[in-house]
């Protein structure tokens, strides 16, 4: 199903309404109010976005964007709010939740890391805001860095600076403040040279590119696919696309983990609309970011062997959220 990717489609008005239950009685049907529930309605379409508790604290997407601009200035005080632009927005058709990425529109905050063939790998900061109207996702602000060569956003939960607020009055309150640890932010920035340096030194044979990509992003061939012809076609199309990505980067950057990482982040940032794909861009990018640090740590272990590592990665069960 197509997604909402234009910011104007996500800044719709939202209001809270009481929820009633229709009860049949001997004297007819009655509406009984549910005192502990309320409905959030897109008043532009009159669509119900979610039914939440009375303690739910509504934050509209417009308000979340304003807060994100505040976060940008707190994190990077040398910038102005007007210098940050919404580069990407993403939401399901329901509009029940969404993601916005804010990027600094100049090169003032750029920095370079090690890369093959003497070509600098330029990174810049971004802030991703997550908001929801169904109570399933917290209001979250992630400060990360993206690779400018293909705008492959990286969110790294183990090192990232993150502000997370459940949609409750006691958590969000009347005002949100952002306290930034600038030393932590500087350390994260400097760590990228080490992360990428490890990737460059680790040889990855081309036949292992696709299994690595699928293992990192948890892409699996559907079960009983032979009995589902349309799904089989989707899997074949997806496989061709992944192979093309792997071939492109291996030929351009060599047979190493850095090259494979390019293929991984490329797909994570631009996933296909395909029935064999069950994650959003945000989730894929989180997986890619987690892998960057995990793989860096694995490579520093004694007797590290990539072939053994790949087998372990493929056979590791998915974490249940």
What does the domain layout of the chain look like in residue ranges?
Answer: 9-53, 61-188, 202-315
Query: How does pLDDT run across 1-17, given as a tens digit for each residue?
Result: 688 999 999 999 999 99
Q: Global pTM?
A: 0.86
Query: How does pLDDT run across 230-259, given as a tens digit for each residue?
Result: 788 899 999 999 999 999 999 988 999 999
Per-residue confidence (pLDDT) for residue 169, from 0 to 100: 84
- Measured distance CA(58)–CA(160) in Å, rounded: 26
Under 8 Å between Cβ of 314 and 211: yes
**289-301: string of b/e by CB count within 10 Å (b at 16+)?**
bbbbbebbebeee
Q: 125 or 217: which carries more pLDDT confidence?
A: 217
Query: Kind and range of the H or E element at 72?
Result: helix 61-75
Per-residue confidence (pLDDT) for residue 319, from 0 to 100: 66
Per-residue confidence (pLDDT) for residue 230, from 0 to 100: 79
- Measured distance CA(282)–CA(90) in Å, rounded: 9
Q: 174 or 5: which carries more pLDDT confidence?
A: 5
Question: For residue 54, what are its two tokens?
Answer: 């009375």
DSSP character string of 20-31: EEEEEETTEEEE
Per-residue confidence (pLDDT) for residue 294, from 0 to 100: 92
Residue with tokens 């940050």: 84
Query: How does pLDDT run across 38-90, given as a tens digit for each residue?
Result: 999 999 999 999 999 999 999 999 999 999 999 999 999 999 888 999 998 99
pLDDT at 318 over 50: yes
**What average pLDDT does the segment 179-189 reach?**
85
> Smallest Cα–Cα separation from 19: which of 29, 31, 11?
31
Range with the poorest average pLDDT among 29-38, 114-123, 254-263, 269-278: 114-123
**What average pLDDT does the segment 293-308 reach?**
92
**What average pLDDT does the segment 160-187 reach?**
86
Query: How does pLDDT run across 98-151, given as a tens digit for each residue?
Result: 999 999 888 888 888 777 666 777 888 889 999 999 888 999 999 988 877 766
Under 8 Å between Cβ of 62 and 11: yes
pLDDT at 291 over 80: yes
Per-residue confidence (pLDDT) for residue 157, from 0 to 100: 61
**What average pLDDT does the segment 216-230 reach?**
85
Per-residue confidence (pLDDT) for residue 265, from 0 to 100: 92
- Measured distance CA(280)–CA(139) in Å, rounded: 17
Per-residue confidence (pLDDT) for residue 106, from 0 to 100: 85
On the 0-12 / 13-18 / 19+ scale of CB atoms within 10 A, 207 is: exposed
**What average pLDDT does the segment 262-277 reach?**
92
Under 8 Å between Cβ of 130 and 104: no
As a whole-number percent, the residues of the chain with pLDDT over 90 amount to 60
Question: For residue 44, what are its two tokens?
Answer: 């532009």
Per-residue confidence (pLDDT) for residue 321, from 0 to 100: 47
């Amino acid at each position: 199903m197509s997604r909402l990717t234009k910011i104007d489609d996500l800044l719709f008005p939202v209001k809270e309404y009481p929820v009633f239950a229709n009860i049949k009685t001997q004297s007819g049907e009655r509406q009984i109010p549910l005192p502990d529930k309320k409905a959030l309605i897109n008043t532009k379409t009159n669509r119900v976005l979610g039914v939440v508790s009375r303690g739910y604290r509504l934050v509209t997407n417009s308000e979340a964007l304003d807060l994100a601009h505040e976060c940008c200035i707190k994190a990077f005080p040398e910038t102005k709010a007007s210098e940050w632009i919404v580069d990407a927005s993403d939401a399901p058709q329901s509009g029940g939740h969404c993601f916005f990425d804010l990027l600094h529109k100049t090169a003032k905050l750029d920095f370079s890391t090690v890369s093959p063939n003497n070509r600098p790998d330029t990174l810049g900061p971004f802030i991703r805001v997550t908001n929801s109207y169904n109570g399933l996702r917290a209001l979250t602000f992630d400060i990360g860095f993206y690779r400018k060569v293909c705008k492959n956003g990286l969110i790294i939960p183990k090192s990232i600076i993150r502000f997370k607020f459940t949609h409750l009055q006691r958590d969000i309150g009347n005002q949100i403040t952002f306290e930034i640890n600038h030393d932590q932010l500087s350390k994260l920035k400097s760590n990228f040279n080490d992360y990428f340096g490890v990737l460059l030194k680790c040889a990855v044979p081309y036949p292992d590119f696709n299994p690595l990509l699928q293992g990192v992003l948890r892409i699996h061939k559907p079960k009983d696919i032979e009995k589902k012809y349309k799904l089989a076609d989707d899997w074949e199309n997806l496989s061709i696309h992944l192979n093309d990505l792997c071939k492109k980067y291996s030929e351009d950057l060599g047979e190493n983990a850095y090259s494979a990482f390019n293929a991984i982040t490329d797909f994570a940032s631009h996933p296909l609309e395909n029935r064999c794909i069950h994650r959003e861009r945000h989730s894929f990018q989180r997986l890619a970011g987690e892998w960057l640090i995990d793989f860096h740590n694995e490579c520093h272990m004694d007797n590290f062997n990539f072939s053994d590592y790949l087998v372990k990665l493929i056979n590791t069960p998915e974490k249940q959220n």
